[in-house]
Amino acid sequence: MKNNFSSLAHIVFGVLVRVLGAVASFFSILILTNFLDKDDNANYFLLISLSIFISVVFRMGADNLLIKKVAQSDCNSKIDLSLSASLILYIVLITLILLFCIFVFIDDSLFWLYVLGMSAVIAINIVIGCIFNGLNKITLSVLLTMTVPSILFLLFIYILQYIGDLNIGNVYFISLMSNIVALLVSAFSLLLLLRIKRIKSNIKIVSLSTLLVSSKSFFGGSVIQSLYNQLPIFALGVFSTGSEVALFGVASRLSSILGYINSITSKYIALIHAKIKTKIESPTNISNAIKFITMFQVLSLILFIFFSERVLGIFGSGYEEAKITAILLIAAQVLNLFFQNHITSFQVTDKQYRALLFIMLNLLILVLFFGFFYVVSDLNSQNAAISVFLVLVISCVLIRIRKLI
């Protein structure tokens, strides 16, 4: 009983840490929407979405693989960090080559230079976060990879707004700097943790081909999952207006306060299955956590429906139009919790191919919905949110049917 309570307490505390990061991100967007126009905010949302997607490509989808490798080699004296160190090395080398190519061959390349720089820094920080996850320091991982960058960005945004120098160029710069500082803190914390626990690390650089072979079963699913998550912003950026991108971005930030919660239980699933032979945890703890989190999400949705106009009004003039979009995206996050944990359970139990097929099906259905709205009416922020919600409804129905068969 004591172990069950301890495990659940760690999950709940991890959720609270992640919510803190989401809240910091929320207040950052609040300042941006009140001091920048919708086109500048649209550019910021595109910067973040592109950086997150490219960072997944850089990591080769190896997140759960890295967690598994570190967890299985975890002992009181030595861990194997060969895959993690090799991946970081290749991320740095590839980034330097691409930065040079962008600078030389692309005119007006500042935006893309920031995107690439952000992508690399985020990717490396998450790789370090995977090491923390493998060492059973999931809350610390969430704090350093998600919460610290969000808090730093909020602090820098507030300073720029206070001195009257808040513009989109400076927003790009402080976005990059927030993640760089967070990365440095993560690296220092990892070295300190290894030193305190007197854990030695074994590092042997593996070839890129070996790394690709090791992560190939994770790579496709992770990239497609990331594309699925970022596709609404990409599609609106290409086929709609900056105003619609800004409306969807604000609504998605509101829903992300719940959405950030979803991945914390997925990390515990990955860790549990990685250490399943030692039986240090019980999967029932995940089920209990999901029940409590679902109750919290449903309650949050109900409260938002009642106070949506007041909440959206604080973002500035015109953002009240995102009401229906935000309600749909928050409702989608309730369903997304079950979908994400179902996919993670596939990935960490050597059923990556099934996970890939499931994610590809979701991506295909989402593209079809977007195409339908683009042809029949209009691909705007509200129709994009309807598409996201319907895809998750279909996914959860399929998951339920599979469990009953």
Residues 124-139 have pLDDT tens digits of 999 998 888 878 787 7
What is the C-alpha separation between 126 and 119, in angstroms, rounded?
11
Q: Does 276 have pLDDT greater than 70?
A: no
Residues 344-362 have a mean pLDDT of 74
Q: Does 264 have pLDDT greater than 80?
A: no
Q: Which ranges of 59-163 does DSSP label H, i.e. alpha helix?
A: 63-73, 82-105, 110-134, 138-142, 148-162
> Tokens for 246?
């800004």
Angle 242-274/2-35 helices, nearest 10 degrees?
A: 160
Whether the Cβ atoms of residue 252 and residue 50 lie closer than 8 Å to each other: no
- DSSP string computed for 159-225: HHHHTT---HHHHHHHHHHHHHHHHHHHHHHHHHHHHHTT-EEE--PPPHHHHHHHHHHHHHHHHHH
- Calculate what percentage of the chain has a pLDDT beyond 90: 26
Q: Does 143 have pLDDT greater than 50?
A: yes
Q: How many CB atoms are located within 10 Å of the residue 165 CB? A: 10
What is the C-alpha separation between 125 and 181, in angstroms, rounded?
10
Residue 23: predicted pLDDT = 81
Please choose, from the candidates 141, 4, 139, the residue with its C-alpha nearest in 3D space to the C-alpha of residue 84: 141
Please give the DSSP secondary-structure letter assigned to residue 139. H
Residue 219: predicted pLDDT = 77
pTM: 0.80
Please choose, from the candidates 342, 337, 333, 341, the residue with its C-alpha nearest in 3D space to the C-alpha of residue 389: 333
Angle 242-274/38-58 helices, nearest 10 degrees?
A: 30
- DSSP string computed for 338-398: HHHHHHHHHHTTT-HHHHHHHHHHHHHHHHHHHHHHHHHS---HHHHHHHHHHHHHHHHHH
- Calculate what percentage of the chain has a pLDDT beyond 70: 79
Q: Does 59 have pLDDT greater than 80?
A: yes
Q: How many CB atoms are located within 10 Å of the residue 130 CB? A: 27
- Distance in Å from the first CA to the final CA of the chain: 32
Q: How many CB atoms are located within 10 Å of the residue 395 CB? A: 21
Q: Which residue has the higher pLDDT, 258 or 134?
A: 134
> Tokens for 69?
């490798």
**CA 354 → CA 69, 169, 272, 359, distances in Å?**
21, 43, 20, 9
Helix (H) or strand (E) holding 79: strand 78-80
- At 82, the pLDDT band (50, 70, 90 cuts) reads confident
**CA 135 → CA 148, 184, 275, distances in Å?**
20, 19, 11
Residue 173: predicted pLDDT = 94
What is the C-alpha separation between 273 and 371, in angstroms, rounded?
39
- At 281, the pLDDT band (50, 70, 90 cuts) reads very low
240 in helix, strand or coil?
Answer: coil
- At 263, the pLDDT band (50, 70, 90 cuts) reads low
pLDDT digits (tens, 9 = 90+) for 382-405: 999 999 999 989 988 887 776 654
Residues 319-348 have a mean pLDDT of 78
> Tokens for 324?
């229906």
Q: Does 271 have pLDDT greater than 70?
A: no
pLDDT digits (tens, 9 = 90+) for 166-211: 899 999 999 999 999 999 999 999 899 888 888 877 788 888 887 7
Q: Which residue has the higher pLDDT, 137 or 352?
A: 137
- At 282, the pLDDT band (50, 70, 90 cuts) reads very low
Residue 12: predicted pLDDT = 61
Q: What amino acid is encoded at 380 in this protein?
A: N
- At 267, the pLDDT band (50, 70, 90 cuts) reads low
